[in-house]
Amino acid sequence: MKKIALIGSTGSIGRQVLNCVDRHPDKFKIVSLSAGSNAKLLAEQIEKYKPEIATLTNPENASLIKSINSTTLYFGENSMEHAITTDCDIVVVSVVGFCGLKCVLKSIEMDKTVALANKEALVAGGKLVTDLLKKHPKAKLLPVDSEHSAIWQSLGLDKDRPFKKLILTASGGAFRDKTYEELKSVTASDALKHPNWLMGDKITVDCATMMNKGLEVMEAMWLFNCPLEKIEVIIHPESIIHSMVEYDDSAVVCQLAYPSMEIPIQLALSYPDRLKTDVESYDFLSKNLTFRKVDLDKYPCFKLALESAKLGDNYPCALSAANEVAVHLFLKGLIPYLSIYDYVLYALEKTVRREVTLENLLETDALARSFVLEKYKGDLND
């Protein structure tokens, strides 16, 4: 029986982790749950899974959570770190955004297996995470993101196997068939209609801009110790091939299945075993698989992410933080879709190079967020 600490239990990934637990109650047990603001859903989850610990970052609706003798509750800003208990085997980090980084670092320090969905942590703090993993050889970092899970599977679940290059597939997001002109008037609700996946709001917008693929390129660089030049990105509108590895002899190995996070989430929990899922077997006669080149003019955020990967140090952290705020403003209907790029670019240009330490990343993150808000206020007054 594997004991799971679930950080971000109320989100899209978090709820699917709980589906895996429901599917295999003899294999997995929830020992802690952490949520951001959704006290109502957290209360239901506490009732059902009776964890030892539950945490809620934003205590506004904490009164909805009835105290249960078997569950210790923590509320407030840094409460989610309490969810990483000494007796858990796996920490699933499925919160959205930079706030996941501290949980990843703490889990590794405690020699835990981390099932990582939160890509922003690795984009900003990949160096800290990989350095810490070297000091804690018992700790493991397993990918949940579907592309990285596909690469891991294509490497035979051996992250250290040598390869020639990694090929990440991208759906192209909600606007892949729109012209640049048409993008000027798209709304948040248009951006949230992803053609193949049902996910949280932030990542769905990131898919539309392809910032998500840029973040995933950096995630792959850290997870598979891979330089930028050895990563190719290709649009694959059907989202059946989830990513590929090309070996030295030019043989390409890929992982494919109908688009569902069930497979990558459950594999990170059950590794090294594979357990049954509810995903249908793939029917090879059901559709043609197609591929397209990424149009960098249509996806400037993707280009910007690659540029920040080349700049290195704290620039990916600034890019990701600025993007979090800009996407938030777009989702609230406060800025147009195409401005997401302008805001992230503005913050990147104002960022000063710093070496990667936790302190410098916290500062970079806070400054990048403030640069976006500064531009937003300035634009309002113009």
Based on the shown chain and the rule CB under 6 A, indicate whether residue 120 belongs to the binding site for ligand NDP.
yes
From residue 101, alpha-carbon distances to 106, 120, 127, 273, 365 in Å are: 9, 8, 11, 27, 12
Based on the shown chain and the rule CB under 6 A, indicate whether residue 277 belongs to the binding site for ligand NDP.
no
Q: Which range in 7-15, 175-183, 242-250, 310-318 contacts ligand NDP by CB under 6 A?
A: 7-15
Tell which positions 146-165 bind Mg ion, by CB under 5 A: 146-147
Rg (CA), the chain: 20
Backbone angles phi, psi at 307, to 5 degrees: -65, -40
Beta carbons within 8 Å of 154's beta carbon, 6+ residues apart: 243, 244, 245, 253, 254, 255
Based on the shown chain and the rule CB under 5 A, indicate whether residue 120 belongs to the binding site for Mg ion.
no
Nearer to ligand NDP, 113 or 375 (CB): 113
Nearer to ligand NDP, 73 or 375 (CB): 73
C-alpha to C-alpha distance for 333 and 346, rounded to whole angstroms: 20
C-beta of 145: minimal distance to Mg ion in Å? 4
- 166 contact, one of Mg ion, ligand NDP, none, CB 5-8 Å limit per kind: none
Nearer to ligand NDP, 30 or 375 (CB): 30
Based on the shown chain and the rule CB under 5 A, indicate whether residue 145 belongs to the binding site for Mg ion.
yes
Of the candidates 99, 141, 218, 335, which one interacts with ligand NDP according to CB under 6 A? Answer: 99
Based on the shown chain and the rule CB under 6 A, indicate whether residue 242 belongs to the binding site for ligand NDP.
no
How many other β-carbons are positioned within 10 Å of the β-carbon of residue 138? Answer: 10
Nearer to ligand NDP, 206 or 246 (CB): 206
C-beta of 285: minimal distance to ligand NDP in Å? 27
C-alpha to C-alpha distance for 144 and 213, rounded to whole angstroms: 15
Side chain identity, residue 111: D
C-alpha to C-alpha distance for 325 and 321, rounded to whole angstroms: 7
Question: What residues make contact with ligand NDP under the rule CB under 6 A?
Answer: 8-14, 34-38, 57, 80, 94-97, 99, 117-120, 145, 197, 199-203, 261
Question: What residues make contact with Mg ion under the rule CB under 5 A?
Answer: 145-147
